[in-house]
């Protein structure tokens, strides 16, 4: 496996959930450093306005308008996050299929290409073997990302319960792992997979600066392939 026929044995990819307006600023930064990302959207919640209260702060959770989806995420990947963001472990088999496949079809129409990726919605225990099996056997989804970070760069066999390396707000760990990954001279393929929500960057005035510092560190290395989740996993 050499990512996307690049001849490289190391790959970096990002995954961001919910399709919020902070994605606009995030994409500007990603593009500045030639990085690629997969954005996981809830098609039935697009255009909705909301506020998240965290530590006494009110943070915007406004969703992207469907008419803007194709242009905004051009050059990156659009993927499933279910229609309405339920915890799939608490859903019936029919509801899982409806939430996933209908979202996938809706997003494919908005994107102008066949959407095949997914990130499980909700915190806590948001996936299990039953849910993964239903998705694999009954939808057009080919991979699903969990929220269980593993601090690891190894290739994983189970693409329907794929664990990311690190969450983007764990900046100290993110920089340490980034330095380790850059120094790595592997003999087998390795993936550095980062996930998060762009609205989380508004929790602290320093977060956007810290994320850009990580982008500066990890980007534009000759021996690293930079791709969307689909580019890296297939």
Partners of 40 in the beta sheet? 17, 79
Q: Does 206 have pLDDT greater than 70?
A: yes
Mean pLDDT over the full length of the chain: 97
Give the pLDDT of residue 75. 98
* Residue 2: count of CB within 10 angstroms of its CB: 11
- pLDDT computed for residue 72 by the predictor: 98
pLDDT tier for residue 164 given thresholds of 50, 70 and 90? very high
Residue 134, both tokens: 């239903």
What does the pLDDT average to over 137-142? 98
User: What is the torsional sign of CA 47, 27, 60, 162?
Assistant: positive
Expressed in angstroms, the distance from the first to the final Cα of the chain is: 9
pLDDT at position 124: 92
| pTM over 0.95, yes/no | yes
pLDDT above 80 for 1: no
Q: What mean pLDDT do residues 1-17 have? A: 90
Dist CA 131 CA 73 (whole Å) = 28
Tokens of 94: 């029919």
Q: What is the mean pLDDT of residues 5-22?
A: 96
Per-residue model confidence (pLDDT) at position 104? 98
Q: What is the 3-state secondary structure (H, E, C) of 25-71?
A: HHHHHHHHCCCCEEEEECHHHCCCCCEEEECCEEEECCECCHHHHHH
Confidence check: pLDDT of 212 > 70: yes
Q: In order of start, what are the domains of the chain with their CATH numbers?
A: 3-233 (3.20.20.370)
Beta-bridge mates of residue 194: 14, 166
CB 8 within 8 Å of CB 229: no
């Amino acid at each position: 496996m050499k990512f996307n026929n690049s001849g490289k044995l190391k790959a970096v990819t990002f995954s961001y959930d919910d399709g919020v307006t902070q994605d606009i600023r995030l994409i500007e930064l990603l593009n500045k450093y030639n990085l690629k990302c997969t954005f996981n959207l809830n098609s039935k919640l697009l255009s909705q306005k909301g506020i998240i209260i965290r530590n006494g702060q009110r943070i915007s959770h406004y969703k992207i308008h469907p008419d803007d989806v194709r242009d905004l995420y051009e050059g990156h990947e659009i993927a499933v996050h279910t229609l309405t963001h339920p915890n799939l472990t608490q859903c019936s088999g029919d509801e899982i299929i409806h939430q996933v496949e209908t979202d996938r079809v809706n997003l494919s129409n908005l994107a102008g290409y066949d959407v095949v990726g997914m990130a499980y919605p909700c915190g806590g225990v948001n996936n299990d073997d039953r849910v993964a099996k239903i998705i694999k056997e009954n939808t057009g989804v080919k991979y699903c990302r969990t929220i269980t970070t593993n601090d690891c760069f190894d290739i994983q066999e189970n693409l329907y319960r794929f664990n990311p390396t690190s969450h983007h707000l764990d900046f100290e760990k993110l920089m340490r792992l980034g330095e380790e990954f850059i120094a790595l001279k592997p003999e087998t393929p390795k993936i550095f997979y980062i996930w998060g929500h762009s609205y989380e960057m508004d929790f602290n005035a320093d977060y956007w600066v810290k994320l850009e510092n990580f982008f500066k560190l990890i980007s534009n290395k000759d021996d690293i392939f930079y791709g969307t989740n689909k580019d890296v996993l297939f």
